[in-house]
Amino acid sequence: MKKIAVFASGSGSNFQAIADAIKAGKLNAKIGLLVCDRPEAFVVERAGVEQIPLFVFTPGDYPGKKAYEEVILQELKGKEIDFIVLAGYMRLVGATLLNAYEGRIVNIHPSLLPAFPGRDAVGQAIAAKVKVSGVTIHYVDEGMDTGPIIAQQAVQISDEETKSTLQDKIQQVEHRLYPEVLEQIMNKKIGFLPRA
C-alpha cells in the first residue's frame, strides 16, 4: 500500500474526498501526512478529525522556497511517503521536492488545461464566457499547471452559470475523479515517463 502526502492550502474538500475514498475501500492508499502552508486553513481541522499527521508551516518564516521545501522533504522521508498529492496547494513546487519525487507528484486543477491555468480558474472561465470547462489531473513539473496530463473531464457551463454554481459542479467531478485516478496510479495502471 502506497503512503501519500496531501498538500493543501484551503478548505480541503479534495483532501476529504481522498480520505473518504480510502475509508470506503475505493482507494488502496494511506494518507501519511497533510502538508499545509496556511495554519488557519480548514483542511487542518479536517486532518485532525481524520487523525492524520500534520506539517503546517508559514512560508514567511523561512528565507525562501528551498529552505521550507527542505524541511518538508525531511518530514516526507520521516513518514516514508511514496507519493505527493496536491489538492488545492497554492504554491508552485520547487526543485527540492520535484527532484526527490520525480514522476510521483500529481495535481488537480479546475479547468481543461491548458485553458485557464493558475489561480481562480473558475472565475477565468466565467469571465471568458466559455461553454465548457472541467477538471484536469496532471503530473507536476516546474511550470504553472504545465505537467503531463493524466485525465480530464468536461463540465458544461450554462448561460446562467455563476462562479459559485460552476465551482460546485466542478468540485462534484473532482471529488469522484481524483480518487479514481489516484487508485489507477497507485496500481500502476497509468504509466509515466519521468523528465528527460
CATH number, domain of 95, equals: 3.40.50.170
Q: Tell me, yes or no, whether 104 lies in a domain.
A: yes
In angstroms, what CA-CA distances link 143 with 48, 61, 96, 161? 32, 24, 14, 30
Half-sphere CA count of 193, side-chain side, radius 13 A? 1
In angstroms, what CA-CA distances link 50 with 16, 76, 173, 174? 9, 19, 23, 20
Catalytic center residues: 109
Q: Tell me, yes or no, whether 192 lies in a domain.
A: no
Q: Tell me, yes or no, whether 54 lies in a domain.
A: yes
Structural domain span for residue 59: 2-186
Look at residue 195 in the predicted model and tell me its pLDDT.
40
Q: How far is residue 141's CA from residue 169's CA, in Å, rounded to a whole number?
A: 27
Q: How far is residue 100's CA from residue 123's CA, in Å, rounded to a whole number?
A: 34
The pairing of beta strand 149-156 with beta strand 83-86: unpaired
Q: Tell me, yes or no, whether 89 lies in a domain.
A: yes
Instruction: Specify the pTM.
Output: 0.92
Q: Tell me, yes or no, whether 78 lies in a domain.
A: yes
Look at residue 51 in the predicted model and tell me its pLDDT.
97
Half-sphere CA count of 7, side-chain side, radius 13 A? 23
Q: Tell me, yes or no, whether 196 lies in a domain.
A: no
Q: How confident is the prediction along the chain (196 residues), in pLDDT tens digits per residue?
A: 999 999 999 999 999 999 999 999 999 999 999 999 999 999 999 999 999 999 999 999 999 999 999 999 999 999 999 999 999 999 999 999 999 999 999 999 999 999 999 999 999 999 999 999 999 999 999 989 999 999 999 999 999 999 999 999 999 999 999 999 999 998 776 654 444 3
Look at residue 178 in the predicted model and tell me its pLDDT.
97
Q: Tell me, yes or no, whether 193 lies in a domain.
A: no
* Side chain identity at residue 35, one-letter code: V
Look at residue 34 in the predicted model and tell me its pLDDT.
98
Q: Tell me, yes or no, whether 195 lies in a domain.
A: no
Domain count along the chain = 1
- For 186, the 3-state DSSP assignment is helix
